[in-house]
Amino acid sequence: MIVRGSCLCGAVAFEVRLPFGRFVNCHCNRCRKTSGSAHSANAAVAPEAFRWTRGETAVTRYDLPPARSFATAFCSTCGSPLPHLTRSGREVIIPAGTLDDDPGVKPDRHIHWSSRAAWTCPASDLPTSD
């Protein structure tokens, strides 16, 4: 099954082949910065399961210099977070809020839970870990 995603302005679009390898809510302070929210909701797939369908040249990537592997990507026009290939090249991280279709699965845990914002929502029914 294929699910589609896009940015806010529509300049960039992509497709992902399911299933996801991982799907988590990450509460680390880097994810809070890049999402502008309490946590990221990130899915991951192998690079072969991902392709841009529109606007790849509008994607800007940012690799956080002091980080071993933290990176983010966003639309150069509207600033929406977008998928990026990890520095290892082993997986593509997909900010799930960019998906236009229902992948039929939900995040299965909260990670970096001890780094959560003081105002974050309670942990729902998902397990937490650091």
Residues that bind Zn ion (CB under 5 A): 7, 9, 11, 26, 28, 31, 75, 77-78
Smallest gap, in angstroms, from Cβ of residue 78 to Zn ion? 3
Residues in the chain: 130
Q: How far apart are CA 37 and CA 4, in angstroms?
A: 23
Please give the span between the terminal C-alpha atoms of the chain, in angstroms, as a whole number: 31
Smallest gap, in angstroms, from Cβ of residue 47 to Zn ion? 20
Smallest gap, in angstroms, from Cβ of residue 70 to Zn ion? 8
Percent helix, strand, coil in the chain, to 5, is: 15, 35, 50
Give the nearer residue to Zn ion in terms of CB position, either 104 or 124: 124
Residue 45 token pair: 């797939």
